[in-house]
Amino acid sequence: MRLKTRVAVAAVAVGTLLASAACTTSDNSGSTPKNVEVFTWWADGGEKAGLDGLVDQFKKDCSQYTFVNGAVAGGAGSNAKTVLAQRLTQSDPPDTFQAHAGAELTDYINAGQIEDLSQEYKDWGLTNAFPSGLISNLTVNGKIYSVPANIHRANVLWGNKTVLASAGITQNATTLDGFFADLDKLKAKNVTPLALGKDWTQLMLFESVLIADLGADKFTGLWNGSTPWNGADVTKAIGDFSKLLTYTNKDTRDTYDWTDAEKLIMTNKAGYQLMGDWEAADLDAKAFKDYNYTVFPGNTGTYQWLADSFVLPKGAKNAEGTKCWLKTVGSAAGQQAFNTKKGSIPARTDAVASAFPAYQQSAIGDWKSLKQVPSCAHGSACSQSMQGAFNTAMGKFSSDGNATALQSALATAASQFIKK
Amino acid sequence: MPRRLRQWGPGLLLLSPSLIVLAVFVYGLIGWTVNLSLQDKHNALPSEGFVGLDNYTNLFTNDISDRFTHSLRNLAVFTVVFIVGTLVMGVLWAVLLERGARAEGLFRTIYLFPMAVSFVASGVVWRWLMNSGTGDNAGGLNVIFSGLHLGFLENRWWTDPNWGMAAMALPAIWQLSGYIMALFLAGFRGIPHELREAAVMDGASTFQLYRQVLFPQLTPVALSALIILGHMSMKMFDLIMSVSGPQYLTEVPSVYIWQMLLTNDQAKAAAIAVFLLLVVAVVIVPYLVYVNRAEKRS
């Protein structure tokens, strides 16, 4: 008798649990056709402020749709990219997602995961609003797959005015040789001449040296297969880069992220740092005003760009809503709202410069007039796999200084990953 | 027939859920991974065909910057330093405590406590402690050394290109020594007291007592400690990610797998995973056979 009661109670309990579980799973808040789920890694700081500005504009332009924030924080995007990869494999894409414009999209394009937006570019007049250099960098096999929300510049050299003045540097150098002379002056003053971080920041520095030694056209050729990586000019660039490394914080550069290197500048312990122009927004946010900026020596006349952009995934639940979002992202008002808060500049050439802080105003002027070159470290020139191989090669070079091994590793990676 | 069924039938029925789950989620998925490692699938598109052992041979002969052999070397240095360090510290503490220290319970707790901390949390703290700056830029342990006038001890910790992984093993040693201490303490307590008394009566010095009588009795404990530490070190991932993040200097096969999966190079990640499984199996399977035979004998 007792056993039967116990069994009966157990059965009822298990049954209730199962029923309640089944009920809760069916209460799925799936995206209704009015929601637009925007998947980014802009979860805090200036990036979130920029996203909020864009969302305000979206509410005005596309009031029939509701913005759903799908941001995933952490790891400078690596967490978000992992989640995104899983969702795409399961054919459950968000309505739109953030990706670096340019070559980094090739994996998505090859897997057939994003839609061609060439027609939308014509409809919305974006082919005229964006500079031609950008359009050609964005075009893959005659098609364009993303709408850039902003433009960041990668080859900017930031300096601590006080440290530079005390070392007797009155003008920033415009050639590599002049730069080496300035770095010697800083070394004599016992500060770190050039603050540097780990692998991808070293790749950025190496790219700037490549632009200086090869020139803009040959540099762009490195990424589409027309310039060979085992050439003599690349060997010279590696030699110059090796010399630059002797002026960096050798003990700590492999442990530093870009913000740690930035801290050396802010605490007057370093003279220069090469970093993208998001450094301006960060320095301003940390209330450090004693900085100046110039394009990296030898890079005069080039604008090394990278862009955050949005795409239309295949199988998105609310394609019309996504297109409305993309239109806002590409519109003058949307780009203005986004970029004034994020610290980058609009990709459009019709931006109103006066609404922006000082650095951005000079950048907007440069964007219209200078030659656009892509950046591997930030995805406009390289796919993710190629970036991984390059970062490993840079990390290896930082620890063993073997120039021939570096050049052959880069050449092998290029031949493996660049599909002509 | 029915009687035999009644003998082992209920037992099989009880075990069957676990057996099914094991078969599917462990052995089934291992088989799936092995199959994946034999394919040409290096992006998000479907596999482009069967390529046999190419993925494995490419790891050793065709890897850019010799990344895989470098990661194996890192793993070897880490494993050796980790195992030796943990065994030495653990056995030392076990010997000290079993000789009858006062407040033994308190010391046991203190030594065992680091094991309760997650590798991620301790990794973040040890990252700060093992700051590689020296001289004016020193932080963490380096600045403590220079403050104590022990400046010659300052070093680059895990950023050293040759022996950096030995420094990476320090947090792991700190965390697992208590566990080894507990293993050996239990082992010591399991040795019959009469053995010690007999040895002392036969005139053995303390050193001889430990070397000739007690430690030989602890061989099974040492063996199982070795196996546990060995496979733990092969799987070490979160400690390395939180101390250094993923980078060439400290890359080990498990981090390499993670990096390959991030770029959808699935066949390569599967090949490294299967290789790692084989390395661990080479160590564990003989141990399991030995234990099985020992149990059958007793």
- In percent, how much of chain A has pLDDT > 90? 56
User: What residues pair up with A159 in beta bridges, in sequence order?
Assistant: A272, A292
Here the tokens at position A390 are 């390059």
Distance CA B256, CA B70 (A): 11
CATH topology identical between A35-151+308-361 and A153-304+376-417: yes
Position B255 scores a pLDDT of 95
Mean pLDDT of A25-49: 72
User: What residues pair up with A310 in beta bridges, in sequence order?
Assistant: A98, A147
> What is the end-to-end Cα distance of chain A in Å, rounded?
79
List of domains in chain B? 67-297 (1.10.3720.10)
Residue of chain B nearest A112, judged by CA positions: B45
Domain regions of chain A by residue span: 35-151+308-361, 153-304+376-417
> Does the beta-carbon distance from A395 to B259 stay under 8 Å?
no
Statement: residue A228 has pLDDT above 80: yes
Position A227 scores a pLDDT of 93
Which residues 7-46 on chain B approach chain A with CB closer than 8 angstroms?
A: 42-45
Which of A357, A195, A205 minimizes the C-alpha distance to A266? Answer: A195
3-state secondary structure labels for all residues of B47-110: CCCECCCHHHHHHHHCCHHHHHHHHHHHHHHHHHHHHHHHHHHHHHHHHHHHCCCCCHHHHHHH
**DSSP letter string over A320-358?**
HHHHHHHHHHHSHHHHHHHHHHHS-B-SSTT--GGGS-H
Mean pLDDT of B252-261: 93
- Three-state DSSP class for A156? strand
Closest by Cβ to A409, choosing from B64, B131, B161: B64
Which residues 156-215 on chain B approach chain A with CB closer than 8 angstroms?
A: 156, 159, 161
Q: Is B244 on the interface with A (CB under 8 A)?
A: yes
Position B104 scores a pLDDT of 87
Residue of chain B nearest A83, judged by CA positions: B262
- Three-state DSSP class for A388? helix
Which of A226, A138, A235, A142 minimizes the C-alpha distance to A418? Answer: A226
Position A29 scores a pLDDT of 47
Q: Nearest CA of chain B to the CA of A353: how many Å?
A: 38
- The model's pLDDT over B85-115, given as tens digits with 9 standing for 90+, comes to 999 999 999 999 988 888 888 998 999 999 9
Let me know if B61 is exposed, middle or buried by CB neighbors in 10 A (0-12, 13-18, 19+). exposed
Q: Is B264 on the interface with A (CB under 8 A)?
A: yes
> Does the beta-carbon distance from A251 to B132 stay under 8 Å?
yes
Q: What is the mean pLDDT of chain B?
A: 90
Mean pLDDT of A336-361: 87
DSSP H or E run through A78: helix A78-89
Residues in chain B: 298
- The model's pLDDT over B27-46, given as tens digits with 9 standing for 90+, comes to 999 999 999 999 998 877 77
With the CA atoms of A165, A167, A169 and A175 taken in that order, what torsion angle do they form, in degrees rounded to the nearest 10? -140
> What is the end-to-end Cα distance of chain B in Å, rounded?
31
Distance CA B43, CA B49 (A): 13
Q: What is the mean pLDDT of chain A?
A: 88
Position A28 scores a pLDDT of 43
Q: Is the dihedral of CA B281, B286, B292, B295 positive or negative?
A: negative
DSSP A140: B
CATH of range A153-304+376-417; options 3.20.20.70, 1.20.1250.20, 3.40.190.10, 3.30.565.10:
3.40.190.10
Position B204 scores a pLDDT of 84
Mean pLDDT of A234-253: 94
Position A26 scores a pLDDT of 45
Residues 6 or more apart whose Cβ sits within 8 Å of residue B178: B90, B93, B111, B112, B113, B114, B115
- In A127-262, where do the E strands start and end? 146-148, 152-153, 156-160, 192-195
B146 pLDDT band, cuts 50/70/90, is confident
DSSP A143: B
Mutate which of A264, A387, A392 to disrupt the B interface (most B C-beta within 10 Å)? A392
Q: Is B47 on the interface with A (CB under 8 A)?
A: no
Mutate which of A385, A408, A416 to disrupt the B interface (most B C-beta within 10 Å)? A385
Q: Is B124 on the interface with A (CB under 8 A)?
A: no
ipTM: 0.86
Give B-chain residues touching A399 at CB under 8 angstroms: 159, 161, 248-249
Statement: residue B52 has pLDDT above 80: yes
Position A32 scores a pLDDT of 57
Place of tokens 């509410």: A59
User: What residues pair up with A303 in beta bridges, in sequence order?
Assistant: A372
Residue of chain B nearest A192, judged by CA positions: B137
Residue of chain A nearest B46, judged by CA positions: A111
Give B-chain residues touching A400 at CB under 8 angstroms: 161
Q: Nearest CA of chain A to the CA of B75: how many Å?
A: 17
- In this structure, are residues B260 and B268 in contact, taking their beta carbons and an 8 Å threshold? yes
Give residue ranges of A with CB < 8 Å to any B CB.
78, 81-82, 85, 88-89, 107-108, 110-113, 198-199, 249, 251-252, 254-255, 269, 383-385, 388-389, 391-393, 395-396, 399-400, 405, 409, 412-413, 416
Which of B271, B279, B227 minimizes the C-alpha distance to B62? Answer: B271
- The model's pLDDT over A77-92, given as tens digits with 9 standing for 90+, comes to 777 888 888 888 888 9
Q: What are phi and psi of A286, to 5 degrees?
A: -90, 15
Let me know if A12 is exposed, middle or buried by CB neighbors in 10 A (0-12, 13-18, 19+). exposed
Distances in whole angstroms, Cα of residue B91 to Cα of each of A150, A197, A234, B224, B231: 60, 41, 55, 14, 19
Position A27 scores a pLDDT of 41
Task: Kindly calculate the radius of gyration of chain A based on its CA atoms and give it in whole angstroms.
Answer: 25
DSSP B250: G
Q: Nearest CA of chain B to the CA of A192: how many Å?
A: 10
Of A347-356, B25-34, B201-210, B216-225, the range with the highest mean pLDDT is B25-34
Place of tokens 């953030």: A98
Q: What are phi and psi of B79, to 5 degrees?
A: -60, -50
Distance CA A382, CA A103 (A): 5
- In this structure, are residues B76 and B265 in contact, taking their beta carbons and an 8 Å threshold? no
> Does the beta-carbon distance from B245 to A416 stay under 8 Å?
no
Q: Nearest CA of chain A to the CA of B155: how many Å?
A: 9
B163 half-sphere exposure, CB direction, 13 A CA radius: 8
- Three-state DSSP class for A313? strand
Statement: residue A18 has pLDDT above 60: yes
Residue of chain A nearest B44, judged by CA positions: A111
Question: How many CB contacts within 8 angstroms connect chain A with chain B?
Answer: 85
Closest by Cβ to B265, choosing from A78, A81, A385: A385
Distance CA A83, CA B219 (A): 47
- In this structure, are residues A299 and A155 in contact, taking their beta carbons and an 8 Å threshold? yes
Position A76 scores a pLDDT of 67
Q: What are phi and psi of B235, to 5 degrees?
A: -90, -5
Of the listed ranges A29-33, A353-357, B197-201, the one predicted with least confidence = A29-33
DSSP A129: H
Distance CA A381, CA B165 (A): 33
Which of A260, A247, A254, A249 minimizes the C-alpha distance to B159? Answer: A254
Q: What are phi and psi of A355, to 5 degrees?
A: -80, -5
Of the listed ranges A111-115, A214-218, A232-236, B182-186, the one predicted with least confidence = A111-115
Residue of chain A nearest B42, judged by CA positions: A385
CATH architecture of A35-151+308-361: 3-Layer(aba) Sandwich (3.40)
Rounded to 5°, angle at Cα B59 from B57 and B63? 120
